[in-house]
Structure 1
């Protein structure tokens, strides 16, 4: 918003709705007066709603009432941030002791005078009699060529109007309402400091307070203050702690105070109410509502949110982060919370609202004219609509957004940092890593910062050898952990400084040298370790590993993505934070092609090699129907000799050895086993970080890649990366159809698992691997936990869905997201079936041997590569999840923010949405004669029984997509699986019908 637009909003709207023209009272029925005065309490407000104790009890679920929402140093930084200029002036209040920016001031005054002259000329502003200003009153509205400049600070000794323009009387809209003086930008209260800037030709003074600029008469101003008196006057008393209890207590002390447009008569308009309220806590808000909406810790634009239930859910999510302000053009309110019935309520200073008159198009202006409590239904059915519908911005003063709101939150400006001159260090919890390991001028520089906890409002800043800040775009990852990085294409040789923080708050600092030339790379000995261990795994390197994984698979943002091989991802400098980190051009010399079991090992080993970290793995049994997989006590590691001539060659040999040892049962060991590469984690976002491994009960393995946050118009997603037997690598969203889970641990340990910590004993040159007992005691992210297995599978998925979408989801949107995921599964199956068709054709349609029993799902050779029993089992589970979702909504409406009275209507809406989505989503497969056949998802769901026997690549494509015998679709089928295989498939069919795969 430009300064002119901002000022126009102030003059036209300030903090009350603009008055509508209304027919004369004589033409109206007595039941529909033009104006009605409303006495307390307002409609829908019960006596307890006007008591402090009620709202203190209602606020308890948001957090401890007496815990500061901002610590004193955070309040100070917040105020400093609001002093940063926006459109040439501070977003918040000005520092009256700071030098005036003469050019910015002149531009601000000029724009305002231009605006006022235009409004006076077209008759939009008139005097108290409704008449245009005379020609003798207009000259002051033109900026003079010369001004008598002053630098004086005085005190207001009475209520003093701060005029929007150089005119001492009021200006009004037509028809004139003397309560709404559009030339009163604010009212200066006794004792406030006024900085007098210049004497205007008509005798008024151009002046400013900390929160507003305008014109004043000096009649009620003190003599100029001395420097000492000014310092005393500007020194604010020690503010009280900013807690919910204190804020609500102060707010209720103003309940019932009179309204005053622009603060007239010492009253409160909406923004003055909040300015004074937050000022008691040392938080200097702007004067006017539009800027107050931008002055929180963060704000969210909800102007496009039409669903009122969604808005209510957003209000509640915001309230859990701090004190909430609600804004629509011309008005701003303090959110109190909801009643027991779930009705959101506010406290605000306001003048009026409209109500429609029954049986006519006329409306009544209801005058409140005080600080009052109301719900947000005010104005419902009127031409202005209700307050809840009109809300365009939610503003929070308190904590940063958190996962429920982060995707759409706009953070306040950060306070600039200065280059540290003294000590410069980082820590395990907040660390900075330059890349490559020895930066030089001939290679782009990348600096990565990681923090275990949300750092709040902070920035990663680079200072070059000359001490100047280097302009570099900061790119943020989602976390947790919370990481960001900057890049410099051609770094200048010399000593650099990287700092993460805000203002005088330094979270991490790191100094490093950029050389003018690339240092020579290192080569391993002809006989020696796969690589030398130069670092230990720690909290900081684990955080960096998560950042590495997230950035590797982060883009493009939406949907399923597939790459032909892992090397395509690793070899992309934009994705790989450690590209050429070892300065040997190593990434161009690798060819990494893992299958699903290898993928987590390849990624972890690659990262460990890059940074010189220890890496260990074990040989494990595959397990049987009644026997879980078990790993050997002995470990293989990077300390084992490889005998390669080069560093890259040694890693290539090592990773081949890893691929020949590990398999899909390696991560599926029971949770209490000690001799394992992995251990079970607790169910939390901080524990299930990028790089975490997920093992399903039947052999598929994924790597957690990203927590995509929940947005206003989109659902949150937990994204995993996986590999296929053909070497392709892709991304999958978390849901029942892709992350299969069972809490049973008798023969398998499924679920989310972390890498067991490995430490090198440098003296003994041996690896020490953490035990479960040690991990239980470790706490934090590394804590061993069997929480995943304590409930049912439904409990597991419910807990995960709550973390992925911490704000209650619109059930129709959630149903659509499940259909999206099903469609993605179908698209992946299309590729698999076609790959099988292409292979069969290339082999002359020779029969592929079919394994017996559980080996059907896990074997090697062509059956493993081209059959789809595991994929089809997941597809059938996906179909169940999609078609049963409406029942879940009916059983648990609270999970979706639905009131009991709305449940049946919402369930019906979900069912209609499902039918519509399934009917319009289509896909095509290629029949045996090469022709395309189109199906809908609705068709596919109707074929669920046929899909229980559709996994055999010896069958034609038509059978594999469930075409019924005797139909036109099936007519082109040219082959069938052998009779013996079909009999065994019928025998195994119950596994698919019950969705219970054998172990």
Structure 2
């Protein structure tokens, strides 16, 4: 989540103020201001250290002050609801941004594929991280089209938690805000400060107040460009394309505002319904009771959100399976998925459903695409590391201890470290290895879900693997200014040597050894930290609820939160070589 003027994370409430009046009067922690449309706003300021709250500015104050800084671009409502055509055009808007190849949020919204770019000042800079981006894009489109958009501007935990982004039982909506009349750029700034991944961590059946999303059925009509996916490990992606074979393409943003792309797969984990993971579509909302002005715009009124039962494609199958629902939420994982009478895994089910009900893999294309995707992720990682180096973080002294949790934090560590990004990258390499072995086993069994007509699938996949890997080159500038390049296989071998710690030299960030490491200027303390962090680098599962604020001496001791002894297997090539030889010998 961003910070307002680098000081406060502002959590604003606009519709549930009365229920809080008594408590607020006793605590003095909130202020109430009437918004232009007559609603009451309550605002609460939460310092970044999550200490005691204190009264600060209300949403109206913030938006009014920020709006004054812009000379044009007020959010004017010109329709009372989103039509079916509006939703189709929103999907097209997202698809165009995805197709553009834009590499950061600012470039995306200034890209020629954005049909509304001409209405934005050329020098304006757009910024959003992973949690912000879905809201940022949805509001931007609504604003430019004059469509109604309200949003949950405060959530609260269901139970005790250290960090609402990782509440075990999830969160609930505490209030909503309809920012009509304010400047659209000011609203974008405000969204960036009140939205975090905690905003998505909501049970799909909670409806009072209504949440911004609903859980859709897994179908070609429902999973489309603009659909959001929430990973309960704290990451958000936006679908921008679904291929005919059911493969989902996504784009996402990062704390440095970069935009990356990839395929939906096991990196985006399932979890209990209370955590609200998985696919999310924007909940329909209607403006009621508004007054239409002479120019066709609307003022006043209130937003009414559609109930789950009123949404034709609302479904809980992604949580409980497409058979009989388990009796209790805690048994969610026992729900099964069946496609064409065959019990299959969740990710295969999604793929099959989005392919129109037929699950079919082309192993040669799949292996090539996975290598290409992994190469892209390595380059995205490189851009993030370069930002840390440019900021000079590696020149600072190593802190005396790690953050409370290396995956879920704030400040420089959130901006410049890469444990979560690296974990997803390592998971992708592991998935490439496991998927390759799976295809070989499917071929041995004559599985009809495999589209392959050759005689030696291992040899053929190896040839494709090598061809795509040969096109991948990673280059970085060492501490002395010289450049070094290496290929895909070398990158894979370095994978668990690459430091996620932003205080380390760029050579260690890229897992250098031998002569390549000689230009690193890290001292003995940083070297000791690098070695002590090795078990954390071996770990691909992100544990957000685990204490990790260890000193160097504590980190060297075995125990919870300190990682694992050995990394998972990722050596696809060696396995394919052995398997290809074995199959050739049997012929």
Into which bin does the TM-score normalised by the smaller protein fall? 0.5 to 0.7
> 2:510: which partner in 1?
961
Determine which of 217, 228, 235 is the counterpart of 1:693: 228
Alpha-carbon separation, structure 1, partners of 2:526 and 2:273: 36
Per the alignment, do residues 789 and 973 of structure 1 end up closer, same or farther by CA in structure 2, a change over 3 Å counting?
Answer: farther
Residue of structure 2 in register with 1:770 after alignment: 306
**Residue in structure 1 matching 2:205, options 672, 682, 685:** 672
TM-score by length of 1: 0.40
- 1:892 is aligned, of 415, 422, 442, to 442
Equivalent residue number for residue 15 of structure 2:
none
2:169 paired with 1:638: no
Deviation at 1:954, TM superposition (A): 1.0
* Residue 102 of structure 2: aligned partner: 562
Give the direction of change, closer, same or farther, for the CA distance of 1:703–1:746 in structure 2 (3 Å limit). Answer: closer
CA distance in 1: counterparts of 2:435 and 2:190, whole angstroms: 45
Asked if 1:815 corresponds to 2:367, the answer is yes
Give the number of aligned pairs: 431
Partner Cα distance (1:961, 1:701) in 2: 26
Aligned mates of 2:228, 2:476 — CA distance in 1: 33
1:727 correspondence with 2:257: yes
Aligned partner of 2:575 in structure 1 is none
- Please give the residue correspondences for 1:921-940 in structure 2 after superposition, counting only pairs within 5 Å: 921-940=472-491
Q: Which of 529, 534, 541 is matched with 2:79 structurally?
A: 534
- The equivalent of 1:543 in structure 2 is 88
- Counterpart in the other structure of 1:825: 377
Conserved? CA contact 1:678–1:753, under 8 Å: yes
With over 3 angstroms needed to count, the CA separation of the structure-2 counterparts of 1:817 and 1:923, relative to structure 1, is same
Q: Specify the alignment match of 1:575 in structure 2.
A: 113
Gaps in structure 2 of 5+ consecutive residues: 1-67, 157-162, 291-299, 322-334, 338-343, 546-587
Distance 1:921 1:588, change over 3 A: closer
8 Å Cα contact 1:671-1:679 kept in structure 2: yes
Q: CA deviation at 1:927?
A: 2.1
Cα distance in 2 for partners of 1:885, 1:696 equals: 21
**Structure 2 CA distance, aligned partners of 1:952 and 1:541?**
44
Instruction: Give the Cα–Cα distance (whole angstroms) in 2 for the partners of residues 928 and 888 of structure 1.
Output: 42
Are the structure 2 counterparts of residues 845 and 579 from structure 1 closer, same or farther at C-alpha, using a change threshold of 3 Å?
A: closer
1:125-164 matches, within 5 Å, as none
**1:543-585: per-residue Cα shift (whole Å, max 9, x none)?**
2211222233333xxxxx333433x33334x4223455xxxx4
Q: Does 1:785 align with 2:321?
A: no
- In structure 2, the partner of 1:997 is 543
Aligned to 1:909: 460
Residues 725 and 743 of structure 1: is their aligned pair in 2 closer, same or farther, counting only changes over 3 Å? closer
Between Structure 1 and Structure 2, the one with more helix by share is 2
Residues 876/552 of structure 1: CA separation in 2 closer, same or farther (3 Å cut):
closer
Q: Does 1:869 align with 2:419?
A: yes
Q: TM-score under structure 2 normalisation?
A: 0.65
1:125-204 aligned at under 5 Å gives the runs none
Alignment partners' CA distance in 1, 2:244 and 2:195: 33
Whose Rg is larger? 1
Question: Is the 1:760–1:767 Cα contact (8 Å) retained in structure 2?
Answer: yes
Note if contact 1:680-1:784 (Cα within 8 Å) is conserved in structure 2.
yes
Q: Where do residues 278-317 of structure 1 align in structure 2 (5 Å cutoff)?
A: none
Shift of 1:818: 0.7
Q: Report which structure shows greater RCO (CA 8 Å, sep ≥6).
A: 2
Deviation, 1:932, is 2.0
C-alpha distance in structure 2 between counterparts of 1:541 and 1:579, whole Å: 18
Residue 672 of structure 1: how far off its partner (Å): 2.9
Q: 8 Å contact 1:857–1:870 — kept in the other structure?
A: yes
Cα 1:983–1:889, aligned 2, differ >3 Å: closer, same or farther? closer
Partner of residue 140 from structure 2, selected from 595, 606, 609: 606
Alignment of 1:341-740 (within 5 A): 530-532=75-77, 534-555=79-100, 561-566=101-106, 568-572=107-111, 574-578=112-116, 585-586=119-120, 588=122, 591-618=125-152, 619-621=154-156, 623=164, 627-639=168-180, 642=182, 650-674=183-207, 675-708=210-243, 718-728=248-258, 730-736=259-265, 740=267
1:985 aligns with 2:523: no
Cα deviation, 1:935-960, whole Å, max 9, x if unaligned, reads 2221222234424xx10011122222
Alpha-carbon shift at residue 821 of structure 1 (Å): 0.6
2:409 corresponding residue in structure 1: 859
